[in-house]
Structure 1
């Protein structure tokens, strides 16, 4: 098969969550373990770092990968979903897995795919583990897909576990309280493996994670209790931050530049800083120069896209993959601060989410351009328009995000600002991304 035929086979043969949602969700580790066993358990052949969370796990994974790469290590990075190309999910030192490897892997695993009937995600996880072994990585950063306890990636025993922000998302799978969701995320905590939590949010979440760490004899550190990360300035497209050690009041890094300029990155940076300290204590060679070099060029080093990314100026256009209430709350607050003129929103959502709470976050005094992502789960633009009207949001419908964005730019004065988002898949459809 060609590469396109191989990818087509994976999408046609296997249940894909991004296309069909709940029907593709396959909790449990048995199938992944069987796939990995058939491959010789490649996930056990190199050190790993496991990253879970509701929001921030993708950015955190990319930052950690960039830091390790700038420190001279050969770094595997597994993330999901992809935005433009399936190969984005599996990278080594920022370079996507070759098409030839995917073709060969799928051809060699057809027997096991037929025998085990895995999900799309289970196959991609096993594929990543296999590729990292064959690429001779020094370490792999592995982002959890959903939850943690029953996520396919949870077959690894990492050097370090990291848990970022926890909020309401995928409640039909993870539970209807923050405590229950935290319990699923804490399922990545392993016996005696250090765990860093980026943010101490509240006792409901904190107590669950603390109990899980104590039960596993896992050293636990809440990064936000140890460090404060404050915005110092913005310069040449970079956000400059100070990292302050709370116990001593000492500034441990001043004017640290990062090309990830979303305000929500402050908590992620605190988590990354704490994770970096844990790795150094375990013997990993990471210098301050490597951290500075990495964080100012995360996008270039790892290929990260879609996190508070400015696409153009005059009018300013920003996109973000925030797709739940907690994420949108932060990105919309930041959008409010950068818009000097009229606010315009190009938005679309998937159809199997309750979007009422998210729509209530958007301002009524703005112009809306409703669209649908090119995804089987997409909410039709006309349905979104109708639901949005119930929240006082008025706008027109468009066939896709690019038509909507083109119209929004045409309608804008140079001082206006446009926000594109609502769903990861809307951002993925942007041609100029």
Structure 2
């Protein structure tokens, strides 16, 4: 039976009753049944609590500037499923994805696969057919047992480790770090993007035997007095680079990790060694685009959308607001049931002048109703000003009606929030 892409996605949600089912045995068996071809000449896998999507985009932009054929796999999507698989900057077509799903279905037999596993295998299948120089794979959840980990990465990046998905990954940063370290391989570079990583992460990387390169130890960032920043490595490499096109201060750390990964790639890849790292890093930083990472959609009052959904991401939002003081801030906020809503609210605190709480229960079974968000808001900020709304669309409409010229509407908290705001605003997919 011929299915449309939407019919295939609906089928994948039905065929395995669990939306999340960590483990590599099933997905590896299907990949082997498909021949297990290499997805590219080199593979970079990106894991971490926050910053994965931005780091993937930075890598893609820099490697493309070097003339490399690059494929990127990311999740979740914002407006259309096709966004998850990009080859040379172009989203996969419906027809290509459908053909890949048909090949996966023929290979899997009676082996159950989750929605995410279908998508991961499709990305690997399409990359393997595209004759790529580099495949950049974003981890969906954790690392050690995530479906992308069936591929042995030449270089791994762990951007940050913080408290998120604790039901699956563990109760503290050390245990979460162990799970994220699982994407690394013995005798291959593992880039650690934060300057104060948990001991659990570092110990796990040492047990694996990875070649660890740490931010603040093996490579560093220095902000320059006028404009730009300096990236330096202990091997003597020293480059002056332009500011990233991405807005948040945390993007310097993501950019530094991306540069470190390409620098490590040069040490083991003859083709990459010929690349002028400073030139391609600068070009990539100037041209990088990624949706819903402090993306400005314009207007007055200004509308800004971000996918920040946990306390660490909320602290990054707070840092950005502090660095860009202005008029009153009206938040459009929605969250999923496994998120630390109180931690997010406390991180932003009085920086938000008015909260518009949006229910997400119509979007996903994991979505929280606005009444639950309100309970958490009043526990964290008893004097907060707020309104509750049944969905993101109504929350956004109310926030825009309430905000005055010179003020800002900040929509964040979940990919479902960002997706709804982008669709409603008909904004471009990249800032």
Q: TM-score, normalised by structure 2?
A: 0.89
Q: Per the alignment, in what secondary structure is the counterpart of residue 42 of structure 1? A: coil
1:200–1:222 contact (8 Å) kept in structure 2:
yes
CA distance, structure 2, for counterparts of residue 401 and residue 211 of structure 1: 42
1:36–1:43 contact (8 Å) kept in structure 2:
no
Cα distance per residue 1:178-201 (max 9 Å; x no partner): 111111111111121111111231
2:244–2:251 contact (8 Å) kept in structure 1:
no
CA distance, structure 2, for counterparts of residue 307 and residue 277 of structure 1: 25
Cα distance per residue 1:149-202 (max 9 Å; x no partner): 111111111221111111111111111121111111111111211111112315
Cα distance per residue 1:181-224 (max 9 Å; x no partner): 1111111111211111112315xx1x434333333332211023
1:154–1:188 contact (8 Å) kept in structure 2:
yes
CA distance, structure 1, for counterparts of residue 348 and residue 39 of structure 2: 46
Which residue number corresponds to residue 407 of structure 1?
398
Match of 1:222 among 206, 210, 214: 214
Match of 1:252 among 214, 235, 239: 239
CA distance, structure 2, for counterparts of residue 354 and residue 113 of structure 1: 37
Change (3 A) 1:382 1:127: same
Shift of 1:247: 5.9
CA distance, structure 2, for counterparts of residue 314 and residue 338 of structure 1: 16
Which residue number corresponds to residue 388 of structure 1?
377
Match of 1:366 among 333, 353, 358: 353
Shift of 1:244: 4.2
Change (3 A) 1:247 1:129: closer
Which residue number corresponds to residue 193 of structure 2?
198
Cα distance per residue 1:350-391 (max 9 Å; x no partner): 123342222222334611111123223111123222332233
Pairs within 5 Å for 1:12-31: 12-15=14-17, 23-31=18-26
Q: TM-score, normalised by structure 1?
A: 0.89
Change (3 A) 1:97 1:325: same
CA distance, structure 2, for counterparts of residue 60 and residue 77 of structure 1: 11
CA distance, structure 2, for counterparts of residue 398 and residue 244 of structure 1: 45
Pairs within 5 Å for 1:132-171: 132-171=127-166
Q: Per the alignment, in what secondary structure is the counterpart of residue 67 of structure 1? A: helix
Q: Per the alignment, in what secondary structure is the counterpart of residue 331 of structure 1? A: helix
1:51–1:161 contact (8 Å) kept in structure 2:
yes
Give structure 2 stretches of 5+ with no counterpart. none
Which residue number corresponds to residue 19 of structure 1?
none
Which residue number corresponds to residue 331 of structure 2?
345
2:13–2:114 contact (8 Å) kept in structure 1:
no
Q: How much is the aligned-residue C-alpha RMSD, in angstroms?
A: 2.2
CA distance, structure 2, for counterparts of residue 381 and residue 102 of structure 1: 36
Does 2:54 align with 1:59? Answer: yes
Shift of 1:29: 0.7
Which residue number corresponds to residue 236 of structure 1?
none
Shift of 1:275: 1.4
Shift of 1:138: 1.4
Shift of 1:246: 7.3
Which residue number corresponds to residue 32 of structure 1?
27
Give structure 1 stretches of 5+ with no counterpart. 16-22, 234-239
Q: Per the alignment, in what secondary structure is the counterpart of residue 72 of structure 1? A: coil
Which residue number corresponds to residue 388 of structure 2?
397
CA distance, structure 2, for counterparts of residue 416 and residue 291 of structure 1: 35
